[in-house]
Amino acid sequence: MNQAIRINPVIDRLENILGRGDIPAPYDRWGARLLAHLTKPVQVVVTGLAGSGKSTLIEMMSTQPVIGQHLEVPIIELAYGEKERALFERQDGSMTGFPGFLKDCECPQDSIRARQELPDTKLISQTFVEIGLSGDLAQKRAILSSACERADIIIWCSQEFSQEEQHLWASVPDQIKDHSFLVLTMADRQLMRDVLSQNIARLEPIVADEFMGLYPVATIQGIAAQTSGEGLNQALWTSSGGKHLMDPVLRQIKQGRGADVDQAQIFLDRLAARTPEVDAEGREAPQMPDPVAINGRDTKEKSEVAARADDVAVDVVAPDGRSVALLSEAVDMLQQRARKMLDEMDHSDDLDAGAILNSCTEAMSSLAGLLDTSPVDDPATQGAREDVQEGEEMLMLFQLEHSEEAALDAVTLLLQIRKELIDKVV
């Protein structure tokens, strides 16, 4: 278990529950994927066209000038490791490692990925990944699409955010844009050429819709502020634009991880509701003795009382004709939505995870709206509303991953809620 888990009790409980190996499907695989997501560092992807200052920006953001400018590798990672080590992944899948820093190593010609590991505890919670966009327009789009699948946060480096860059950025999913920053690198040079203000004014209306913010940064000054002298030169760090960028980036990392932990708690709560032997804290719930068997002398009488109590309970919650009609309509709606999505998956060469997740979310929202038309005090539909609310929370978990497997599990969730609704009708 890494340090990120040890400092969070919710993640610790989730791992303990999954480690017991008795979680029913599909919660076992949902929980496993959620745990994998929570224990993986936040992926901060720095991308942009060639020569846009990506490596230097990563060195400034990480306070670690260890990459250098000579690497010509499609992907460069800066991550936590127990010791200073430079790794190169080759085209044949093999790894070549060297002690020390990337900037001091000779990169093998067939390298497809370089990784710098450092024993810096700040890198436990976040990994910086440089992904350059090269080739023709189609190749750049493909690389950017792959970067989006990996990224939790994207930082786009540019000196002007040209029409080509805007065209590329237009293909990025909205959920990624909501956690993205546009950085105008080499801002000091633009300031000297008297074009910085002009570029900022031109880009502000674009940034308002496409990014969290626009940040001019003089990266060389930012690195100097951190490395020259015994401590951080606050004045130079602020004037370089480094502070104005890093404050919101670190806030996004913290908020994102906090939201992930909240989703883990939601998962534990739902699991506890579905598996009474496990409480929301991840502990085995105590087994209560059978009240009928406490005293053997009156077993028969107590059994009859318990049976009558069960009969009364069933009579109280039995749905009336109006509730049955509403729940039946809800069942039919979910069946139609799920069948349509499964048909689309069967007839599509490429599974569009985002479209499926959005369709599932829309279906759950429509279901919630339908059930809201029922009387508030109707116990049958009230239980259904609670199931739908939990389902909406589970869909939020799947949206975190945004993968094909998560999309399939979202459809499975719809079908499971449909089954629960059927149980309330019959």
Place of tokens 């590991």: 117
Looking at residue 22, what is its pLDDT? 82
Q: Is 164 contained in some domain?
A: yes
If asked whether residues 218 and 331 sit together in one domain, one would say no
Report the pLDDT value the prediction gives residue 7, as an integer from 0 to 100: 56
6 in a domain, yes or no? no
Reduced to 3 states, what is the DSSP secondary structure of residue 111?
strand
Contacts of 218 (CB under 8 A, 6+ apart): 186, 187, 188, 191, 239, 240, 241
Q: What DSSP designation does 185 have?
A: -
Q: Which of 204, 232, 256 is the last residue of a domain?
A: 256
| 82 and 228 inside one domain | yes
| Higher-confidence position of 167 and 282 | 167
Q: What is the CATH number of the domain that holds 144?
A: 3.40.50.300
What local confidence, expressed as pLDDT, does residue 420 receive? Answer: 80
What is the C-alpha separation between 86 and 79, in angstroms, rounded?
10
Whether residues 243 and 330 fall in one domain = no
Position 381 confidence tier, pLDDT thresholds 50, 70, 90: confident
Instruction: Tell me: do 50 and 123 sit in the same domain.
Output: yes
Length of the chain: 426
Domain that holds residue 134: 42-256
**Global confidence as pTM:** 0.70
160 and 88 share a domain?
yes
> What confidence score (pLDDT) does residue 236 get?
94
Q: Which residues contact 221 (CB under 8 A, 6 or more apart)?
A: 188, 236, 239, 240, 242
* 184 bridge partner residues: 158, 216
243 in a domain, yes or no? yes
Task: From residue 234, give the alpha-carbon distance in Å to each of 60, 73, 214.
Answer: 14, 33, 21
Q: In the prediction, which pLDDT does 177 show? A: 93
Among the listed ranges 118-132, 183-197, 293-307, 393-407, which one has the minimum average pLDDT value?
A: 293-307
Torsion 14-17-18-24 (CA) sign: negative
Contact assessment for residue 50 and residue 132, using Cβ atoms and an 8 Å cutoff: yes
My answer on whether 247 and 374 are in the same domain is no
Q: Tell me the per-residue pLDDT of 52-94, one tens digit each, with 9 for 90 and over.
A: 999 999 999 998 889 988 788 999 999 999 999 999 999 999 9
pLDDT reported for residue 308: 40
Task: Report the pLDDT averaged over residues 280-303.
Answer: 45
Residue type, 291: P
Write down which residue in 212, 232, 256 finishes a domain: 256
Kindly tell me the sign of the dihedral angle through the C-alpha atoms of 85, 91, 92, 93.
positive
Over range 44-50, report the average pLDDT: 96
**Total of domains in the chain:** 2
Q: Are residues 227 and 143 in the same domain?
A: yes
Averaged pLDDT score across all residues of the chain:
82
Residue 299 maps to a domain: no
**Torsion over CA: 95, 97, 102, 107 (sign):** negative
Domain boundary among 256, 284, 308: 256
Amino acid at 347: H
User: What are the start-end ranges of the H helices in 275-319?
Assistant: 299-317
Confidence of residue 310 (pLDDT cuts 50, 70, 90): very low
pLDDT in tens, 142-201: 999 999 989 999 999 999 999 999 999 999 988 899 999 999 998 999 989 999 999 999
Whether 35 maps to a domain, the answer reads: no
Q: Is residue 29 part of a domain?
A: no
Residue 34 counted as domain residue = no
More confident residue, 425 or 117: 117
| Per-residue exposure over 20-32, b if at least 16 CB sit within 10 Å of its own CB, e if not | eeebeeebeebbe
Considering Cα of 282, then 286, then 291, then 292, what sign does the dihedral take?
positive
- State pLDDT tens for residues 330-370: 888 887 877 777 676 666 666 677 788 888 888 888 888 88
Q: Express as a percent the part of the chain with pLDDT over 90.
A: 41
Q: Are both 330 and 238 inside the same structural domain? A: no
* Lowest model confidence (mean pLDDT) among 21-25, 185-189, 232-236, 341-345: 341-345
What is the band of 281 on the pLDDT scale with cuts at 50, 70, 90? low
Residues 249 and 217 sit within 8 Å (Cβ to Cβ): no
Distances (CA, A) of 9 to 23, 277, 282, 398, 409: 19, 20, 10, 22, 26
- Read off the tokens for 234: 């606050």
Residue type at 177? K
Same domain, 91 and 203: yes
Q: Which residue has the tokens 């805007």?
A: 166
β-pair type (214-216, 75-80) = unpaired
